[in-house]
Amino acid sequence: MSFDYDLFVIGGGSGGVRAARVAASEGAKVGLAEEDRMGGTCVIRGCVPKKLMVFASSYRDAMAEAQDYGWTVHAGSFEWSKFQTRLEGELDRLEGIYRKLLDNSGVTIHDARAEIADPHTVRLSTGETLKAKHILVATGGRPALPGIANDHLGITSNDIFHLPELPKRILIVGGGFIACEFACILNGMGVEVTQFYRGAQILRGFDDEARGLVSDMMCKKGVNLHLGTNIVEMCLEADLDENGMVPNTELLAGEVQGKAAPGKSGPIWVKASNGTTQVFDQVMFATGRNPNTEGLGLDNTAAELGRRGEVIVDDYSQTKQPSIFAIGDVTNRVNLTPVAIREGMAFVETVFKGNPTKVDHELIPSAVFTQPELGTVGMTEEKAREQEPIDVYATSFKPMQQSFIGREDRVLMKLVVSKETDRVLGCHIVAPAAGEMIQLAGIAVKMGATKAQFDQVCAVHPTMSEELVTMKTPVRSA
Ligand code: NDP
């Protein structure tokens, strides 16, 4: 069979772009299709714009602290449109860089949607049909709505960067990364934030002590967090009938499929599972993300999908169809940008360098950019306890910078240590810049450092993270 390409990549996000570039640099003839903007979720509607919003939102607090330190300053008001204009410029710049990198490495870009017609054929929305020896699916994921009547009235993290103006009052639904990060961001920007989370504590899966402190701090900083709470009903306030009842919910639910009447907007009335009713200018659903496999044509191949629509792959990111591989969020393994990039690199190593390479998904450090941030690597106390006897070293204290001006902020430094091997199984940090700290602690944990080796390292004084090398006695053992 003759092929147009050695590799055709579907999806121009972090994983797809990296795999395409590296494969091309190995001499492969590579094509890449992206139906939207180059850069994908991370660059265009995720990590990058989110982090810039984190920075923007941090100045109000910083300004108040500066006053207490003796500065004559005041925060004034936040000009969303000014920030947004700069943000759009930055995203254009980054998208341009991504395109240039692909061009320079000889990858042919197709600005089109691609569908898989058979194990070696992709059909583009431009009408072109192309043959490729290998196809790499790197189509990422998209926000999932909860499926309740009228949920189309809400927005998702995709929309938040494009709002013409910031709402005065927002309800954020969910308790994961995205919900908590945007609750803090918008709170910092002066929006009145209410957050509903259906479970007992936000950030499920993270260390209990750490998530407890993040939750406390979010509430102290002004987020109106309701645990064990979900939306029962919602509609436009203007659509409530004269008795204050939601009219014909079935009809409204039907509208969801039909994508509701355009132009309908306005304050949103919400009834919560705790019986209260409230009106918000916006409702944001951060209720998880689904892999982008709908209409991709994988059913024309032997590749299999999982329950949530994720592409099932083996340790080498290969599907049941030998010519088709998948990396990144579309495989719903560890949904983080640097992981997708590493999966892309391992794929190229395996397929184009003849060096079969499994992706290492162990001990991946990550951070939640709440205020304060949560940085984590390795096992939570709860998980480690199930596995083996452990010692827990933890300290929670008021950091010097905020304690000096009488603030109630607290931070947490925590190590979970194996009793048998003395190995640090997990490190959990809640503090400003915890994301930066956990990157470094992650090196030691990944290297298999023991608690004794942590303690051999001289403290950097005065810092918050020096506690990681000065905790002498376990606070508990289990
Ligand atoms: P998560 O899966 O982290 O969180 C989804 C949240 O929505 C959970 O709290 C879940 O509750 C709740 N939920 C799900 N369905 C419903 C429903 N029907 N009604 C009410 N609540 C519901 O997803 P996110 O969208 O926050 O993030 C997706 C992924 O993106 C993350 O897992 C992460 O890998 C990545 N990400 C990473 C970031 C980072 O590295 N800083 C930042 C942002 C995203 P429950 O817990 O009960 O299931």
The string of pLDDT tens digits covering residues 118-165 is 999 999 999 999 999 999 999 999 999 999 999 999 999 999 999 999
The whole-angstrom distance between residue 54's C-alpha and the CA centroid of its chain comes to: 13
Rounded mean pLDDT of the chain? 95
Q: 312: which 2 tokens?
A: 């099932």
By most ligand atoms within 8 Å of CB, the mutation choice from 287, 290, 336, 370 for ligand 1 is: 287
Classify residue 66 by its DSSP letter: H
Angle at 380 between CA 376 and CA 383, to 5 degrees: 150
Q: 8: which 2 tokens?
A: 């055709």
- Ligand 1 centroid to Cα of residue 2, in Å, is 44
| Mean pLDDT in residue range 39-61 | 97
Calpha distance 372→187 (Å, rounded) = 13
% of the chain surpassing 90 pLDDT: 94
Note the pLDDT of residue 22. 98
Calpha distance 469→478 (Å, rounded) = 21
Whole-structure pTM value? 0.95
Q: Which amino acid is at 43?
A: V
Using a 6 Å cutoff on CB, does residue 16 contact ligand 1? no
Using a 6 Å cutoff on CB, does residue 438 contact ligand 1? no
pLDDT of 20 above 80: yes
pLDDT higher for 442 or 259?
Answer: 442
pLDDT of 258 above 70: no
Q: Which residue has the tokens 């204050």?
A: 244
Q: Which residue has the tokens 């989110």?
A: 50
Q: Is 461 a catalytic residue?
A: yes
The answer to whether 119 and 324 have CB atoms below 8 angstroms apart is yes
Residue nearest to atom 7 of ligand 1 (CA): 287
By most ligand atoms within 8 Å of CB, the mutation choice from 172, 185, 197, 198 for ligand 1 is: 198
- Ligand 1 centroid to Cα of residue 204, in Å, is 9
Note the pLDDT of residue 263. 52
Note the pLDDT of residue 248. 63
State phi, psi for 272 to the nearest 5 degrees. Answer: -95, 160
Using a 6 Å cutoff on CB, does residue 23 contact ligand 1? no
Residue 256: which pLDDT band, with cuts at 50, 70 and 90?
very low
pLDDT of 260 above 60: no
- pLDDT tens figures, 313-361: 999 999 999 999 999 999 999 999 999 999 999 999 999 999 999 999 9
Note the pLDDT of residue 264. 65
- Ligand 1 centroid to Cα of residue 347, in Å, is 27
pLDDT of 255 above 50: no
Note the pLDDT of residue 296. 98
User: 3-class SS at 346?
Assistant: helix
Note the pLDDT of residue 83. 98
Note the pLDDT of residue 74. 82
* Residues ≥6 apart with Cβ < 8 Å to 130: 4, 5, 8, 31, 121, 122, 124
Note the pLDDT of residue 244. 77
Using a 6 Å cutoff on CB, does residue 179 contact ligand 1? yes
For the CA of 180, the nearest atom of ligand 1: 26
Calpha distance 397→411 (Å, rounded) = 6
Using a 6 Å cutoff on CB, does residue 283 contact ligand 1? no
Residue nearest to atom 34 of ligand 1 (CA): 335
pLDDT of 210 above 80: yes
Note the pLDDT of residue 4. 98
Of the candidates 74, 120, 162, 461, the residue annotated as catalytic is 461
Note the pLDDT of residue 378. 98
Backbone CA torsion sign across 26, 139, 316, 338 = positive
- Ligand 1 centroid to Cα of residue 353, in Å, is 36
Residue nearest to atom 42 of ligand 1 (CA): 177
Using a 6 Å cutoff on CB, does residue 205 contact ligand 1? no
Query: What residues pair up with 234 in beta bridges, in sequence order?
Result: 270
Query: What residues pair up with 110 in beta bridges, in sequence order?
Result: 33
User: 3-class SS at 465?
Assistant: helix
Residue nearest to atom 19 of ligand 1 (CA): 146
Q: Note the helical H segments in 34-114.
A: 40-45, 47-68, 80-104
The answer to whether 252 and 149 have CB atoms below 8 angstroms apart is yes
Q: 397: which 2 tokens?
A: 């204290």
Q: 270: which 2 tokens?
A: 């919400």
Residue nearest to atom 23 of ligand 1 (CA): 288
Using a 6 Å cutoff on CB, does residue 288 contact ligand 1? yes
pLDDT of 26 above 50: yes
Calpha distance 220→122 (Å, rounded) = 53
Using a 6 Å cutoff on CB, does residue 434 contact ligand 1? no
Least confident among 81-95, 155-169, 235-249, 264-278: 235-249
Note the pLDDT of residue 253. 46
| Mean pLDDT in residue range 454-478 | 98
pLDDT of 252 above 90: no
Calpha distance 183→194 (Å, rounded) = 8
